[in-house]
Structure 1
Amino acid sequence: MNVTSPETLFEQEFGLIADLVHAYAQERPRHPALIDEQRSLSYGELDQSMDRVAVALQRDRVGSGEAVAICAASCVDYGVVFLGALRAGVAVAPLSPSSTPESLVTMLADSASKILFLDESVAVALATVALPPGLQLVRLDRAPGVRSLDAWLAPAGGAPVPVAIAPDAPFNIIYSSGTTGTPKGIVQPHSMRWAHVRRARSFGYDREAVTICSTPLYSNTTLVSFFPAIAGGGSVVLMPKFEAGKFLELSQRHKVTHAMLVPVQYQRLMDRTDFDQFDLGSYRMKFCTSAPFAAALKSDILRRWPGGLIEYYGMTEGGGTCQLLAHEFPEKLHTVGKPVPGHDIRLIDEQGEEVAAGQIGEVVGRSPAMMKGYFNQPGKTAEAEWFDAAGNRFIRTGDVGRFDADGFLTLMDRRKDMIISGGFNIYPSDLEAVLFQHPAVRDGAVIGVPSKEWGETPVAFVVLRADALATADDIKQWTNERLGKTQRLSAVRLAAELPRSAIGKVLKRELRDQYSAA
């Protein structure tokens, strides 16, 4: 493989992350690349391991453009397999271990994965179902009596046959709705990932950066931090599971500079009584995405946690992305920021027409970073697309928002979560913003439930703070005193915790099911 400097590679409109790893391996082979609880791998070792993965895939006749799947907790070997597959031109389908066995089988069949790399917990879950014919299983946990990664890898020293990888070739297939519903495979091309890592360079992802990944590697939330860190030649600390105290300890020990967290993780960190005792002065930048991020929480982070804070709003499917540099615009913390350069964000009504300035509409976006489509689902792909008068393709988000006079986007809610009560549109996020101001409320969510009188009516699920004495009626009365007449809660339900996905999104469908069952 020819060696080109990372800087020269980044000057190209299109390049490969696997080539960047090789360049860093030649430049400083001993610098740590991947670190987990058990071991670390230098760039030289990572580059050689990627070659062994790529050679093994070619040996097993997994061709360029075909797919393999990974379903396991985050670890060094997860990163090795993912990056090695990319070197062979093989797309990776990272799957959620929390999916049902039936959903996993569906995703494996849909992606036509030739090999599944898994750990013990996933192997136990899949023992109850029939796997797609011909699927190879390779274990990442090195358990005795199973085909381990060490046994599967090609011998050290070999080199894979070079493959030409086009910009629109599939990089990965990320499945949405992997825990419930019908999974949809989002095909992200190499050009999309290249655009991400080039854009991320402006936020300090360089050779001395240390990034901690505390969300799962199957999530795009994690990958938009993981790949820029590797592309920049820095080090990545992988947490198999988020725990606030451990996160702070690792941040201090490794002098972490970058982190991508979801709002519920930020809340758990800031709630710790010992938070201010940790030395977090190494942080350059922190990021957040994937779920609503309360303005009060952003403000607390800016006050107590060194380094900048950036919120991203976008979709795994790509399209347009908004970015809020919270440390530069503290007066705009209630927004998700402005479209990033080169991204076109517009708002449309129910008829697909663009709304007037200052009006509410569904968010649609267009950018160089867009999915090719949903894998094997052209109908679903068409539903997710919107075309302007000039024929330009946009991705529909399903979110409802409004631009202010300065061009900052305020999100109202998911379109499907909007409540229509007595003919009035009610946005749960407006109610939640008031609810969170109650001193007894630690967490909460508002959903719409059927009502004979109004069609739908809002109900709040609330998690109280540990020392709180408030009742459900207390919170309902307090909140309704501060809401408009058409917005008032019809009920408040107390809960020990809210159901959340692995990346912190409140699963409102489960709350609706709980309410119906009760």
Structure 2
Amino acid sequence: MPDFITLDALVRNTAQASPDRLAVIDGERQLRYAEFDALIDRVAAALQRDGVKPTDTISICALSSIEYAATFLAGLRVGVAVAPLAPSSTAHDFAAMVKDSAAKILFTDDFAAAAMKDAAIDPSVKRVALDGGGSGTAFSGWLAPEGAKPTPVTVDPEWVFNIIYSSGTTGTPKGIVHTHYLRWRQYGQLDPLGYGPDAVTLLSTPLYSNTTLVCFNPTLAGGGTLVLMKKFDAKGFLDLAQKHRVTHAMLVPVQYRRIMALPDFGNYDLSSFVMKFCTSAPFAAELKRDILARWPGGLTEYYGMTEGGGSCALLAHEHPDKLNTVGQPMPEHEIRLIDEDGNFVPPGEIGEIVGRSAVMMKGYLNQPQKTAETLWIDKDGNRWVRTGDVGRFDAEGFLTLMDRKKDMIISGGFNIYPSDIEAIASQHPDVLEVAVVGMPSEEWGETPVAFAVARPGRTLDPAELKAFTNAKVGKTQRLADVAIVEQLPRSAIGKVLKRELRDQRLALKAAS
């Protein structure tokens, strides 16, 4: 690989070599690389003016925009870590993430601000409104003057690039820390995926997601063009793809399913596509097969964790007979399977998936115990990331996922932890106990369903409990349904048997 270079420096190199090349398209607005780099400088200079120093943190919670992208790159340019936050978070979690990240400035927009109006944010955290709305100081007024440049900062590869938050099973968000070195290991390897000056990448997933950054970073590193989509809809995606001659896109399975279901899908000219990507949720083999048959260009599925470790890639267009798998370990990534005692299992047997590579998180911010629980040390002292997933390798080294050891639900590409929802539902005065299970959904992949037991002498209304819970959880955590049961099935040691709940419900649906 080439010598270490920061992402913002690669953007600057393109701005100097090809100043008129399109960098970012946001609706009817667009910036060329020279203009984009100048905007990054103005944001970076404003950060320094406001006293933000290297290794400090800024947070961004907003819809994708040119200003969002420039602010992200500006933070990197002056050695500042970026904590992108989800507008779909609860107000409680949002406030906890801002506090945990120790953000000096919170960049937001009216969309996010409306969702977080009840969040208890420390008033000392400066707010800047990226859209110029009422959520803080207007971005245009906050910016340093035209032509301003920041004081140069030499970035240490071990400094924090970003903090990606993932909700924990205790309800406390976990900040996954990625260094500049980790990200460079990703964006420094642009081939054979075609990220170069001719790449036009359509981003329809939000910038707070690692899923999106996996495409955002290499596109800019290679001098390509980003097309931003604030909110996904299937027809809008195809309109943009055709209009801008898009070559690359990252989509989660539910997005692919909605796109492929459009009656007029075949009327769109998608011949410009070089590579499409998918990650974050189970990707059905029949859906992959449909995409390969009707959508030009390659299809790559990634399997891995935001925490890093080992990742797999399935180049579906090259291996149409392996669509039931998530592919093979990527170059320089090692993936093994272990049993309950931490022993490596032989080929063909089932085990928990662990992985290691140069692409591994530094840890969870301020949570050493959670970090220790996720990392596994083998007998030779090597660090591995535990996925909590169970799988099996076939004779050719392709990995098939069997099940998830954790109770995590993946709905529409988002990770949902049942215990977070259970904690809220249990607050209902008529609830004795409740278990939340991920049920199959054609639209979302999985959706959370609650099984609740009423307190003695009380009556539980499922619609009321559903409304009560959904009013208090994040948008992506909302229950799809509630079932009232007499008791929850448990093991001999008292553990709720969620598999039985899931199987019983599937059997009832099949019989109806």
TM over 0.5: yes
Shift of 1:64: 0.6
Out of 130-139 and 167-176, give the one that drifted further: 130-139
- Quick check: 1:168–1:190 contact (8 Å CA) kept in 2? yes
Q: Residue 93 of structure 1: which of 83, 99, 103 is its match?
A: 83
Could you tell me which residue of structure 1 aligns to residue 231 of structure 2?
Answer: 241
Q: Residue 113 of structure 1: which of 103, 116, 130 is its match?
A: 103
C-alpha RMSD of matched pairs (Å): 2.7
Q: 1:64 to 1:330 in 2, by over 3 A?
A: same
> Residue 456 in 1 paired to residue 497 in 2?
yes
Shift of 1:413: 1.9
Could you tell me which residue of structure 2 aligns to residue 354 of structure 1?
Answer: 344
1:325-367 per-position Cα deviation (integer Å, ceiling 9, x unaligned)? 1000000000000001100101112222222221111111101
Q: For 1:358, give the aligned amino acid.
A: G
Could you tell me which residue of structure 1 aligns to residue 60 of structure 2?
Answer: 70
Shift of 1:202: 2.1
**C-alpha distance in 2, partners of 1:448/1:402?**
30
Q: 1:488 to 1:112 in 2, by over 3 A?
A: closer
The correspondence of residues 25-424 of structure 1 with structure 2, limited to 5 A, is: 25-143=15-133, 146-177=136-167, 181-417=171-407
Out of 175-184 and 213-222, give the one that drifted further: 175-184
- Quick check: 2:201–2:226 contact (8 Å CA) kept in 1? yes
- Quick check: 1:446–1:458 contact (8 Å CA) kept in 2? no
Q: 1:238 to 1:457 in 2, by over 3 A?
A: closer
**C-alpha distance in 2, partners of 1:309/1:175?**
28
Q: Structure 1: where are the runs of 5+ without partners?
A: 1-9, 420-427, 462-475, 477-486, 495-518
1:97-142 per-position Cα deviation (integer Å, ceiling 9, x unaligned)? 0001111110000000000000112223333233124100000112
- Quick check: 2:110–2:135 contact (8 Å CA) kept in 1? no
- Paired residue secondary structure (1:297): helix
Shift of 1:181: 2.2
**C-alpha distance in 2, partners of 1:442/1:109?**
31
Shift of 1:490: 4.0
Task: Give the % identical residues.
Answer: 55
Shift of 1:456: 3.0
Shift of 1:179: 11
Q: 1:446 to 1:138 in 2, by over 3 A?
A: closer
Q: 1:448 to 1:33 in 2, by over 3 A?
A: same
**C-alpha distance in 2, partners of 1:446/1:94?**
25
Shift of 1:262: 0.3
- Quick check: 2:129–2:135 contact (8 Å CA) kept in 1? no
Q: 1:176 to 1:192 in 2, by over 3 A?
A: same
- Paired residue secondary structure (1:492): helix
Q: TM-score, normalised by structure 1?
A: 0.81
Out of 35-44 and 305-314, give the one that drifted further: 35-44
Q: 1:311 to 1:34 in 2, by over 3 A?
A: same
- Quick check: 2:489–2:501 contact (8 Å CA) kept in 1? no
- Quick check: 1:460–1:491 contact (8 Å CA) kept in 2? no
**C-alpha distance in 1, partners of 2:243/2:262?**
18
Q: TM-score, normalised by structure 2?
A: 0.82
**C-alpha distance in 2, partners of 1:243/1:488?**
31
Shift of 1:177: 1.3
> Residue 492 in 1 paired to residue 509 in 2?
yes
Q: 1:184 to 1:208 in 2, by over 3 A?
A: same
1:129-174 per-position Cα deviation (integer Å, ceiling 9, x unaligned)? 3312410000011226951111111112122111121111100000
> Residue 11 in 1 paired to residue 2 in 2?
yes
Q: For 1:101, give the aligned amino acid.
A: A
**C-alpha distance in 1, partners of 2:450/2:356?**
31
Out of 188-197 and 348-357, give the one that drifted further: 348-357
- Quick check: 1:35–1:41 contact (8 Å CA) kept in 2? yes
Q: Structure 2: where are the runs of 5+ without partners?
A: 410-436, 452-487
- Quick check: 2:278–2:302 contact (8 Å CA) kept in 1? yes
Could you tell me which residue of structure 1 aligns to residue 430 of structure 2?
Answer: none
Q: Report how many residues are paired.
A: 445
**C-alpha distance in 1, partners of 2:262/2:188?**
35
Shift of 1:451: 2.5
1:24-83 per-position Cα deviation (integer Å, ceiling 9, x unaligned)? 101111111011114111100111111111111111111111100000011111101000
- Paired residue secondary structure (1:201): coil
**C-alpha distance in 2, partners of 1:142/1:209?**
31
